[in-house]
Amino acid sequence: GLPATVRIHEVGARDGLQNEKATVPTETKAEFIRRLADAGLTTIEATSFVHPKWVPQLADAEHLFPLVRDLTDLSDTALPVLVPNERGLDRALTLGASRIAVFASATESFAKANLNRTLDEALAMFEPVVERARGQRAHVRGYLSMCFGDPWEGPVPFPQVVRVCKALLDMGCDELSLGDTIGVATPGHVGALLSALNEAGVPTHTVGVHFHDTYGQALANTLAALQHGVTTVDASAGGLGGCPFAKSATGNLATEDLVWMLHGLGIDTGVDLDRLVATSVWMAERLRRPSPSRTVRALSHK
Ligand code: HMG
Ligand code: MG
């Protein structure tokens, strides 16, 4: 069966904007996040406390985070931020962040490209981050990139994904997000991986899915995940995004496309689709390119 409600983890302001060429002013980002919350999204990833040279688009995290943290409209909104290491954690905690995400990889190649570390070195880097965050009662998400295919290594064997999931849960992560960074997964692969994880003792309720729509499979993959018991789905308003460290990555599953499907299935999301579409149209004007989301296009040309 399908779940009655799905929690959408909105990543447009982070995964979306990290890959935009145009520099988006900090105030515009804050307004984007405010509008996303106004459209009913309750978990909005705000930014990353990473090295500013690695992700210049998010180099304004110190300026942006206090702007959104202090908005009364956002007092009930969870605002997770990415942190790769203790330096990032210090920056986030100083500003009062209460939800963080570390980001691992199921493959060696991407750990190297994204974190300048071997996979084991990356996991060792996260260990004190997760421990200290939990000590501060912060909620911790553990991302895994390249869970299905990797641009350098090809298809990714299930045991590699199982190993990293277990390492992140053992460390103390509250939830996981399985990333299809380059969008190569298909629904049968998604179902098989989720079954393999479940059999290996990774509880499905700890697992969210993070699909990129490179091959147009993100919605089909999401439906397969829901049929396997997943209830947390990552998506990006307007389908913004990609990944600067994986050339073949395009935008995430568009939140509007996801909401259209979920509401059609009678699944509750709490999202007001018209307000969300208006937000993505507003953002597309600022980025000077149309949203790639089919649902945004359909509903904004009515
Ligand atoms: P490194 O060069 O190995 O860093 O980068 P280091 O540890 O050797 O330190 C070098 C210098 O950087 C030091 O300064 C540090 O203080 C500084 P120095 O002493 O030389 O003056 N530094 C920092 N400064 C600010 N904030 C920090 C920080 N850390 C070190 N946090 C590092 C290692 C991890 C920092 C780097 O590789 C990095 O920032 N990577 C981030 C990459 C990234 O953000 N990728 C995108 C997010 S993941 C993603 O998009 C996938 C996802 O969407 C899921 C999916 O689709 O698969 C989540
Ligand atoms: Mg991503």
Residue nearest to atom 42 of ligand 1 (CA): 114
CA nearest neighbour of 203 among 172, 242, 169 = 169
Instruction: Give the separation between CA 208 and CA 196, rounded to whole angstroms.
Output: 15
Alpha-helical segments (H) within the chain:
26-38, 61-69, 86-94, 108-115, 119-135, 158-171, 187-199, 218-227, 255-264, 273-287, 294-300
Ligand 1 pocket test: pick from 48, 50, 184 the residue with the most ligand atoms within 8 Å of its Cβ: 50
CB 143 within 8 A of CB 177: yes
What Cα–Cα distance (Å) separates residue 278 from each residue in 39, 259, 281, 301? Answer: 9, 14, 5, 11
- State the burial class of residue 281 (Cβ atoms within 10 Å of its Cβ: 0-12, 13-18, 19+): middle
CA 20 to chain centre: 16
Residues with catalytic function: 243
| Distance of CA 237 from the midpoint of ligand 2 (Å) | 13
Instruction: Give the separation between CA 246 and CA 212, rounded to whole angstroms.
Output: 12
- Ligand approaching nearest to the C-alpha of 106: 1
Token output for 92: 């986030």
| Distance of CA 280 from the midpoint of ligand 1 (Å) | 29
pLDDT digit string (tens) for the chain, length 302 residues: 999 999 999 999 999 999 888 789 999 999 999 999 999 999 999 999 999 999 999 999 999 999 999 987 888 899 999 999 999 999 999 999 999 999 999 999 999 999 999 999 999 999 999 999 999 999 999 999 999 999 999 999 999 999 999 999 999 999 999 999 999 999 999 999 999 999 999 999 999 999 999 999 999 999 999 999 999 999 999 999 855 566 656 789 999 999 999 999 999 999 999 999 999 999 999 998 889 899 999 999 76
Sequence length of the chain is 302
Instruction: Give the separation between CA 15 and CA 7, rounded to whole angstroms.
Output: 18
Q: Is the minimum distance from the CB of 57 to ligand 1 under 6 angstroms?
A: no
pLDDT value for 245 = 63
ipTM over 0.95: yes
Instruction: Give the separation between CA 110 and CA 88, rounded to whole angstroms.
Output: 20
Q: Is the minimum distance from the CB of 87 to ligand 1 under 6 angstroms?
A: yes
